Amino acid sequence: MHKPVITVEISRTAILENLKSMQTLAPNCGIAPVLKSNAYGHGLVLLAELLKDENVPFFCVDSYPEAEQIRRAGIKKAILVMGHTPTETIEKNKLKNISFVIFSIEQLRTLKRGVVHLKFDTGMHRQGILYSDLDKVFPLLKNLKVEGVMSHFAESEKPDSKLTKLQIERWNKIAKRFQSDFPVKYYHCANSGAFGFAGEINANVGRSGIALYGIGTGLQPALQIKSIISEIREIEAGESVGYNGTFVAEKKSRIATVPVGFFEGLNRKLSGKGVFLINGEVAPLTGRVSMNISSCDVTDLEVEVGDVVTVISNKPKDLNSIENIAKICDTSHYEILVNIPPHLRRILISND
């Protein structure tokens, strides 16, 4: 087996501690790990394997193929498919212990069988059965096993959001109506940002995505990416590095080559702005990030070929943390994470 030159390290300790923190924050709710989009770049099957024996009600994925991946790995934990699934796929599903989210009255009218969670639009206006259509739902449920009802917050990270308060009010009315007229097993509305409102929400499950991975929440980031220095060269003052010569050395410089580029998930907007860490020291990126190669300035560092390069750090204050990379690239940490390609080898580590 070949030794990879790029490794995505996932901290087992951080994931389990973050899960425990969410369970402490919402002690009356089960925590459903959100593993969609390759577990936010952390590795779908890797995370499902890690969490399969934890006390969680079900895993949340986006698509039927993601559910199939988990089942092919031999993992039997209950799964909720939260993305749109065609009616035919739901009715012909052969996977055990799997349920599907239904977003519309129209699909409810055509669906003849299936285990489902009903998603209601309480104010985000992205998807879900309209709050005003609540009365129309109940006559359509006789052929289905309704396992849960759910919603989603639009801006739960804002503590004084009027929209969040409205959504909680509407959600609580929906939950109370089902509890009295059509009891189901699971009531879930809170995403990671809404766990601070857990005491106000009538629910017994909360979905944890970004908080599970420790990003932007004050918890411990679980992911870091490492590579190596593959080459070091000296260039003279006035010489350039990379495509179109966007970096020109002001003095005689040592430039290290690292075999990672935008195909490996390193955002091209980091060109000339981002950094790597080598032996704990900052090495600024020089020139443009290429498809599979990046260069960094190691003029003032004591480094050599083969030294480990931290491409993405799991320490929030580091200049190459997920949060700081997102700021440099003027995007969200979600986008940085999910663009880490699935083909990169992911490994669980216990001690950081």
Which one of the listed residues 20, 243, 252, 327 is annotated catalytic?
A: 243
Beta pairing class for 30-33 and 247-248: unpaired
The question of whether 64 is a catalytic residue gets the answer no
What CA dihedral angle connects 278, 312, 228 and 296, to 10 degrees?
-60
Beta pairing class for 79-81 and 247-248: unpaired
C-alpha closest to that of 258 among 228, 278, 279? 228
Which one of the listed residues 36, 77, 119, 226 is annotated catalytic?
A: 36
Q: What is the pLDDT of residue 258?
A: 98
What interhelical angle do 44-51 and 12-25 show, nearest 10? 60
From the CB of residue 86, how many other CB atoms can be counted at a distance below 10 Å? 11
Q: What is the pLDDT of residue 27?
A: 86
Q: What is the pLDDT of residue 155?
A: 81
Tokens of 196: 């601070």
Amino acid at 184: V
Contact between 220 and 240 (Cβ < 8 Å): no
What's the pLDDT tens digit per position in 118-160?
999 998 899 999 999 999 999 999 889 999 999 998 887 776 7
Amino acid at 299: T
pTM: 0.93
Beta pairing class for 30-33 and 205-208: parallel
Element (H, E) at 255: strand 253-258
The question of whether 3 is a catalytic residue gets the answer no
Distance CA 42, CA 167 (A): 30
C-alpha closest to that of 150 among 92, 83, 102? 102
Q: What is the pLDDT of residue 194?
A: 61
pLDDT digit string (tens) for the chain, length 352 residues: 678 899 999 999 999 999 999 998 888 899 999 999 999 999 999 999 999 999 999 999 999 999 999 999 999 999 999 999 999 999 999 999 999 999 999 999 999 999 999 999 998 899 999 999 999 999 999 889 999 999 998 887 776 789 988 999 999 999 999 999 999 999 998 776 666 676 788 999 999 999 999 997 789 999 999 999 999 999 999 999 999 999 999 999 999 999 999 999 999 999 999 999 999 999 999 999 999 999 999 999 999 999 999 999 999 999 999 999 999 999 999 999 999 999 999 999 986 4
What's the pLDDT tens digit per position in 287-331?
999 999 999 999 999 999 999 999 999 999 999 999 999 999 999
Q: What is the pLDDT of residue 49?
A: 98
Beta bridge partners of 187: 149
Contact between 99 and 147 (Cβ < 8 Å): yes
Q: What is the pLDDT of residue 164?
A: 87
